Amino acid sequence: MKLYIDKPRFKNSPPFRAIFFDDRARRENPMSLAAIKPTLERLLTPILERHEAFLVDLVLRNDRRGTNIQALVDTDKGVTIEKCSEISREFGLILESEGVFERSYQIELSSPGIDKPLRLLRQYPKNIGRRFTVQYQGKDAPATLTGILEGVEQELITFTPEKGEPVQLNYSQIIEMKEVLPW
């Protein structure tokens, strides 16, 4: 806690005004968030499996209101608002019953969205036929191509670039793959 004292600004104002700020959220050790992340993933995974979904990313942040949990989830066929709502509700109940957080928290559970790059190999098959810009590790240096995702076989990804022959990349070569929006 910090105490700030304001001096009088006007002739008839009170002699001083004390303002208390709780700055624990700003001082919170980021390692504590890193330490709690595996616990949250462990609690969320069975819920996602029941809904045939998977975790794409989990981001934790502290602010003055508490901890913000941002979970990006997906399914092999795409995730709906209703499914996100159900998963979020179940996750909140588990967090409450387990007593994970001492302070308040907020859950933001959503699909990754079309503006986010694909992060997991599991996301690739449902995006076959779509146009992507791919940054990948070439033989000597990073390279970029824009083309249609044609196929996924184990960890071998096939693209048809706008010009030229189909290109096959190993999943481990891909640095970032982002959908090119049609508009």
The arithmetic mean of pLDDT across residues 107-114, rounded, is 90
| pLDDT at residue 21 tops 60 | no
Q: How many CB atoms lie within 10 A of CB 162?
A: 9
CB contact set of 133 (below 8 Å; sequence gap of 6+): 144, 145, 146, 177, 178, 180
The pLDDT of residue 144: 94
- The answer to whether the CB of 124 falls within 8 A of the CB of 152 is yes
CA 12 to chain centre: 52
Question: Confidence class of residue 63 from pLDDT cuts 50, 70 and 90?
Answer: confident
- The answer to whether the CB of 91 falls within 8 A of the CB of 70 is no
| pLDDT at residue 64 tops 90 | no
Question: Confidence class of residue 95 from pLDDT cuts 50, 70 and 90?
Answer: very high
- The answer to whether the CB of 105 falls within 8 A of the CB of 165 is no
- The answer to whether the CB of 132 falls within 8 A of the CB of 149 is yes
Q: What is the dihedral of CA 120, 121, 125, 127, to 10 degrees?
A: 40
The pLDDT of residue 136: 95
Q: Provide the residue count of the chain.
A: 183
Averaged confidence pLDDT in the chain: 84
The pLDDT of residue 85: 93
CA 85 to chain centre: 16
| pLDDT at residue 20 tops 70 | no
Strand, helix or coil at 101?
A: coil
17 token code pair: 């005004």
| Domain extents in the chain | 28-110, 121-179
Please tell me which residue, 89 or 101, carries the higher pLDDT value.
89
| pLDDT at residue 114 tops 50 | yes
* Per-residue model confidence as pLDDT tens digits over 134-172: 999 988 999 999 999 999 999 999 999 988 899 999 999
Please tell me which residue, 50 or 16, carries the higher pLDDT value.
50
Question: Confidence class of residue 10 from pLDDT cuts 50, 70 and 90?
Answer: low
The pLDDT of residue 12: 57
Q: How far apart are CA 32 and CA 44, in angstroms?
A: 18
CATH architecture label of 121-179: Roll (2.30)
Domain spanning 28-110 has what CATH number? 3.30.300.70
